[in-house]
Amino acid sequence: MAIDQRLKEIIETQKDVLKKAALLISESIEELKRKALEEKRTLEEVIEEIMEIALEKKEKEEAMAMPLLGEKFPSIEVQTTHGPMRFPEDLAGSWVVLFSHPADFTPVCTTEFVSFQKHKGEFDALNTKLVGLSIDQVFSHIKWIEWIKEKLDVEIEFPIIAATDTLAAQLGMIHPKKGTNTVRAVFIIDPEGTVRTILYYPQEIGRNIPEIIRAVKALQKSDAEGVATPANWPENELIGDKVIIPPATDCETAAKRPKEYQCYDWWFCYKESN
């Protein structure tokens, strides 16, 4: 295998990029000498280039921080079961549900992936893309979804990201006291790439997929109508499927509210959804 290809694999590795790059150099001196000769460079220049590439990769991942609500999801270049992806740019214009899972070939994760796929039509109807993620390598993802299709007769149609453990940790997907497996994190990202909802579940508890669908619907309703949605919407115990008007911020508006909407008080008014 050519040294450039081996370096590329190191850059996409799970961890210890600098250590593995140094090991590649120590084991490939003769090959590096030939490469330097062919490219009319010194051996030192070739080695320096390799370490600079590895260091740039390490610094880029370490500089990344977990995105918070209202922030742009950081741009990442990843390998997926559907090929390379620049996330979230490649999905711009769509809502995105990015969800991490602890590991391939585990029972709870398998039930979640089957459920996400079973509900994929509902996400499609909401212009929402599904993207899975764990630190398993892409060949593991591929084998796992083959197993799901063969054993459970369910074809997983959405991509799964093969993340490095450094990347997953920087995105807040690894619990420091739960080993190196990713937690069950969910990021709901709007068409502009902004994080709108973050959900976390422990490894022991599978997610409720209809609740994630409800959250997407509620966000889209809020954006479209400038309203808020109540608890358990659209089946709230007080106002049913109606939506809440944002509270008044001045005395004049507060006095008008009970005349314009149904209200319990001027600060708690609601209306029929459009």
Q: Check whether residue 135 and residue 243 sit in a common domain.
A: no
Residue 153 domain flag: yes
- Write out the two tokens for 107: 């029972």
Q: Beginning with the edge strand found earlier in the chain, give each strand of the sheet holding 76-80 in spatial order.
A: 83-87, 76-80, 160-162, 128-134, 95-100, 184-189, 195-201
Same domain, 84 and 190: yes
User: Under DSSP, is residue 34 helix (H, G, I), strand (E, B) or coil?
Assistant: helix
Per-residue pLDDT of 129-159, as tens digits, reads 999 999 889 999 999 999 999 999 999 999 9
Q: Which has more pLDDT, 3 or 94?
A: 94
Contact 72, 193 (CB under 8 A): yes
Same domain assignment for residues 58 and 130: no
The mean predicted confidence, pLDDT, of the chain is: 88
Average pLDDT over residues 79-84: 95
Residues 204 and 238 in one domain: no
Residues 94 and 215 in one domain: yes
CATH number at residue 237: 3.30.1020.10
- Are both 254 and 203 inside the same structural domain? no
Q: Is the pLDDT of residue 19 over 80?
A: no
Rounded to an integer, what distance in angstroms lies between the CA atom of residue 162 and that of residue 245? 42
Average pLDDT over residues 111-125: 98
- Domains of the chain: total: 3
Phi and psi, residue 102, nearest 5°: -55, -45
pLDDT exceeds 90 at position 92: yes
Q: Is residue 69 part of a domain?
A: no
Query: 55 with 158, same domain?
Result: no
Question: Per-residue confidence at 11, pLDDT binned at 50, 70, 90?
Answer: low
What pLDDT, on the 0 to 100 scale, is given for residue 34? Answer: 78
Helix axes 29-38, 3-11, angle to 10 degrees: 110
Domain boundary among 33, 63, 93: 63
Mark whether 20 and 126 lie in a shared domain: no
- By the 8 A CB rule, do 190 and 95 touch? yes
The reported pTM is: 0.77
- pLDDT score of 166: 74
Q: Among 222, 243, 260, where does a domain finish?
A: 222
Both 200 and 86 in a single domain? Answer: yes
Is the pLDDT score of 1 beyond 60?
no
**Given a cut of 60, is residue 28 above it in pLDDT?**
yes
Q: Is residue 71 part of a domain?
A: no
Question: Which sequence positions are flagged as catalytic?
Answer: 109
Cα 172 from chain centroid (whole Å): 10
Question: What's 101's domain CATH number?
Answer: 3.40.30.10
Structural domain includes residue 146: yes
**Whether 112 and 136 share a structural domain:** yes
Per-residue confidence (pLDDT) for residue 63, from 0 to 100: 55
pLDDT tens digit sequence for 154-209: 999 999 999 887 778 778 777 666 666 778 899 999 999 999 999 999 888 999 99
Which is nearest to 29 in space by CA: 46, 41, 12, 16? 46
Q: Which residues contact 146 (CB under 8 A, 6 or more apart)?
A: none
139 and 213, same domain (yes or no) = yes
Can you give the residue range of the structural domain that contains 234? Answer: 226-271
